Structure 1
Amino acid sequence: MDLKKIGNSSVQVTPMAFGAWAVGGWMWGGAEESAALRAIRASFDLGMTTIDTAPVYGFGRSEELVGRALQGIPRDQYQILTKYGLNWETAEGEFYFDTTDNNGKALKVYRYAAAAKVIKECEDSLRRLKTDYIDLLQIHWSDATTPIEETMRAVVKLIEQGKVRAAGVCNYSTTQVDEALKVVKLASNQVPYSMINRGIEKDIVPQALQKGMSIIPYSPLQRGLLSGKIKPGHKFGEGDTRENNKFYTTENINRANALLEKIKPIADGHNASLSQLVINWTTRQPAMDCVLVGARDEQQVKENVKALDFKLSDEELKKITQAANEFMLAE
């Protein structure tokens, strides 16, 4: 895959990145370790050399798996995007939610991005990832208990120390981005975006284009719903939180599948799966410079990579977008 710059930074990434949330196991109903390692390595071998992870994905497990899978590969041949700002070790910060770890242990997660915590999290991530620098370090969620200026000054310090190459944010509003930009040059904003979840087109995307930032969209398949493989009555594994998600009601599963039926002829015309078509369309949207696509095993990685094996015509893009425009989420 051809590399492209993230925003106005010097960091170059693949247009599609391996999203390592699912391999961490947490909230996805578990993941088999050897399969996860093979999936990460397959991503690299097939040219998708950018990996997006986070400390909270499996509470360190995802980062550790990424570090192990890439060990022995020259560091300048892959790109690591990770995060900070979610705290499950203490009760400091803004309470976010209750959860359990991969072993069923109850945990409370807080949004916490005080300067000392940002520095500590970066050091912990470097250790787990078995590297001495992170290509893009992103705050995972905003923390109302810590001024944005304090958080971003800590990131500037890490950049000055050579431990971080570029700064990004996740799930930030336009106001929060503007505040952060007073302190640090932001390369990106990582936010949820899919064919049936396009709210960011109103404000987040225009801001990114104006400020020279990239959008790193996550959940482009709406956590699997746009694969076409989810039908009403689908049985989810233990610990899988999708069952209670608003997109996974019977009505919305039916509506999503109706959308997919409209665009299936285009996928068939390219000998592509629905997932590949949806991913390809997402990479063609404004500012979407690095689309995150998750996978649990090597076969899923191989299928994802094929999403860039074909080019949609302007007319096909228009037809897909029109079909997506007609989708209405049932509340």
Structure 2
Amino acid sequence: QRLQTDYIDLYYLHWPRTGRDMRPWMEGLETARQQGKIAAIGVSNFSVSQMQALAQVGQIDAYQLGYNLLWRFSERDVLPYCAEHHIAVVAYSALAHGILAGKYARQLDFVPADQRWTITLFKESVWPHVYETVDNFKTIARQGNYDLVHLALRWLLRRPAVKSVLVSAKNRTQLLANYAALTVDIPDAILDDLTVISDRAMQVIPDEGNPFGYHP
């Protein structure tokens, strides 16, 4: 009623619970779809085996996952599965918690209680590699007179599996910068250079399941 609509365009199942059968939830969403209350069903942060289980009782239309130049583990299994089953991919954490906006110094100064310490890319053993990688991205940006945010978002938008990208903005300036990434012209050769740098980083960044290291 508050949204002034009688149906939901896309309804997500977020964060599957370890050891819990999610098929009853999927069955409920399929019932809602048949009743016209839901147009499409999505899942977020599910593994391939978890999606296969849901596919026994319903149709997954969209998959939302953390995906960016510093976090590409889904390319091994999840993205191929989505492509094979015609599941639209929606990428969150497109700028890797602001890292790909170049906002952090070499020496992180978070207070001890800051939740960012639990994020894989900020961990003490990982951050030096991440910082060096972003510094290399910055070099490409400077050489071509590009905005680092534009490079990161255009790279993501060019990935064949990605249908939509989620980005946040704290103010109008950030909003306009994000929007400009849709129209800026960046040659494929530049984006390929980013991929090469990213490939090297992915050899040392540990796969903890998702960018947050969160396993409910």
Same topology, TM > 0.5? yes
Deviations 1:80-128 (A, max 9, x none): xxxxxxxxxxxxxxxxxxxxxxxxxxxxxxxxxxxxxxxxxxxxxx64x
Relative to structure 1, is the Cα distance of residues 271 and 306 closer, same or farther in structure 2, using a 3 angstrom cutoff? farther
TM-score by length of 2: 0.83
Please give the root-mean-square deviation of Cα atoms over the aligned residues, in Å: 2.5
Give 1:329's match in structure 2, choosing from 201, 205, 209: 205
Unaligned runs of 5+ in 2: 208-216
What CA deviation, in whole Å up to 9, does each residue of 1:47-103 have, x standing for no partner?
Answer: xxxxxxxxxxxxxxxxxxxxxxxxxxxxxxxxxxxxxxxxxxxxxxxxxxxxxxxxx
CA contact (8 A) 2:100 2:134 kept: yes
CA contact (8 A) 2:7 2:38 kept: yes
- 8 Å CA contact 2:7–2:36 kept in 1: the answer is yes
- State the Cα distance separating 1:135 from its structure 2 match: 1.2
More divergent stretch after superposition (281-290 vs 139-148):
139-148
The normalised TM-score by structure 1 is 0.56
Q: Is the contact made by 2:150 and 2:184 (CA closer than 8 Å) also made in structure 1?
A: no
How big is each residue's C-alpha offset from its partner over 1:175-208, in whole Å with a ceiling of 9 and x where there is no partner? 1111212222211111111211111110001101
Choose the corresponding residue for 1:141, options 15, 25, 31.
15
Structure 1 pair 272/161, CA: closer, same or farther in 2 (3 Å)? farther
1:69-108 matched pairs, under 5 angstroms = none
Measure, in 2, the Cα distance between the counterparts of 1:239 and 1:304.
Answer: 30
In the alignment, the residues of structure 2 paired with residue 330 and residue 145 of structure 1 have an alpha-carbon distance, to the nearest angstrom, of 24
Deviations 1:158-179 (A, max 9, x none): 2122221100101111111112
How far apart are the structure 2 equivalents of 1:254 and 1:223? 16
Q: Could you give the per-residue CA deviations for residues 213-237 of structure 1, whole angstroms, max 9, x where no partner exists?
A: 1221211211111211111344448
Structure 1, residues 116-148: CA drift from partner, whole Å, max 9, x if none?
xxxxxxxxxx64x45432211110011356533
Corresponding position: 1:158 with 2:32? yes
Stretch moving more, 212-221 or 255-264:
255-264
Identity of aligned residues (%): 28
The answer for the alignment partner of 2:156 in structure 1 is 282
Gaps of 5+ in 1: 1-125
Q: Which structure shows the bigger proportion of residues in strand conformation?
A: 1
Q: What's the CA shift string for 1:291-321, capped at 9, x where partnerless? A: 1112222222111111122233232222110
Correspondence 1:43-122 to 2 at 5 A: none
Q: Which of 77, 94, 114 is the aligned partner of 1:203? A: 77
Question: What count of residue pairs does the alignment treat as equivalent?
Answer: 205
Q: Tell whether 2:95 aligns with 1:221.
A: yes
Q: How does 1:163-174 map to 2 (within 5 A)?
A: 163-174=37-48
